[in-house]
Amino acid sequence: MQKVWPVGVDSLNWVHPIRWLWRVACLPVLMLLVILEPLVTFVFAALALLGLLTTLFFYLVGPPDFPLWTMLALSLAFAIALVPYHALIRLASYGFKDGGARL
């Protein structure tokens, strides 16, 4: 017969060290992401807007073989790239919402 670890009060004791290790590992990543967030947001939003305006300009006065849909897709990709960046910040900050009092 195979021994099975009992699930009970002792199994809950492993939750706190794992949670603590998660917070310790995510803290430097979170600090880096939060420090770079204004720069990343500005650069990606500026590239998205600049790409959109460039696409509009070249569509109106540019050559007939201008890659309109490629440029629009690239501009949209820069705007959408901010979503995973902010999701990564939210993932790394999970558990720090209470000010770290339980750390």
Write the pLDDT tens digit of every residue in 44-59.
999 999 999 999 999 9
The neighbour count for residue 97, using CB atoms within 10 Å, is 7
Can you read off the two tokens belonging to residue 23? 């917070």
pLDDT tens digits for range 74-87:
999 999 999 999 99
Share above pLDDT 90 across residues of the chain, in percent, rounded to a whole number: 52
* Residue 48 CB coordination number (10 Å): 19
pTM (two decimals): 0.70
Higher confidence at residue 17 or residue 78? 78
pLDDT at 26 exceeding the cut of 70: yes
Query: How far, in Å, CA of 84 to CA of 4, rounded?
Result: 41
Supply the DSSP string of 24-71, one letter for each residue.
HHHHHHHHHHHHHHHHHHHHHHHHHHHHHHHHHHHHHHS-TT--HHHH
